[in-house]
Amino acid sequence: MYKRILLAYDGSEPGQKALLDCREIAQWSGASLTLVAVMSLQRRVVAAEGVIYEQSIIEEDKARYQGILNDGLRRLIEAGHEAQGEVLYGETVDEIVSYAKQTDADLIVVGHKHLEGWAARWWRGSVSKSLIAHAPCSVLVVITR
């Protein structure tokens, strides 16, 4: 039985479907829910001095990811669940795996985005595939079509 569920939430259609599935599993098992939104630090500006992170872009991204997280938490609370959440900063899979270990999660729930074309799959990789390979617990990949 799952007692601590971690949802990697990005506000996308697959993420919203994962939120609904996560909510049902938590209700059924009596598990605690934690949402995380992971902000990648890949947005940067290349300058003569090298690669720098544009502070205004970072602040905009932080606000956007906090909004995504707050929306997910609001949906869960309106459905009668207690939930907590946090915005994480860094490489998506590494941050989710690390947070799952820290919180002793026994299930990670993530939505899956179908990438069109082999080039897109090769270039971006698959978060869900990498999570399955590196997670310290079970992973539920929610698929939408």
Q: In which domain, by residue range, is 44 found? A: 4-143
Q: To 10 degrees, what angle do helices 92-103 and 127-134 make? A: 40
Q: Which residue has the higher pLDDT, 118 or 9?
A: 9
Q: In CATH, what number is assigned to the domain containing residue 28?
A: 3.40.50.620
Beta bridge partners of residue 52, listed in sequence order = 45
Mean pLDDT of 68-78: 91
How many angstroms separate the CA atoms of 18 and 89, rounded?
A: 21
Q: What is the mean pLDDT of the chain?
A: 83
How many angstroms separate the CA atoms of 137 and 128, rounded?
A: 13
Question: First vs last Cα of the chain: how many Å apart?
Answer: 28
Digit-coded pLDDT (tens) for 77-134: 998 888 999 999 999 999 999 999 999 999 999 987 655 655 544 445 678 888 999 9
Give the contacts of 130 (CB within 8 A, at least 6 positions apart): 93
pLDDT score of 85 = 95
Coil, strand or helix: which one is 109? strand
β-strand pairing of 4-8 with 107-112: parallel
Helix or strand run (H / E) with residue 96: helix 92-103
Q: What is the pTM of this model?
A: 0.82
How many angstroms separate the CA atoms of 69 and 36, rounded?
A: 7
Give the contacts of 97 (CB within 8 A, at least 6 positions apart): 131, 134, 135, 136
Confidence of residue 44 (pLDDT cuts 50, 70, 90): low
Structural domain count of the chain: 1
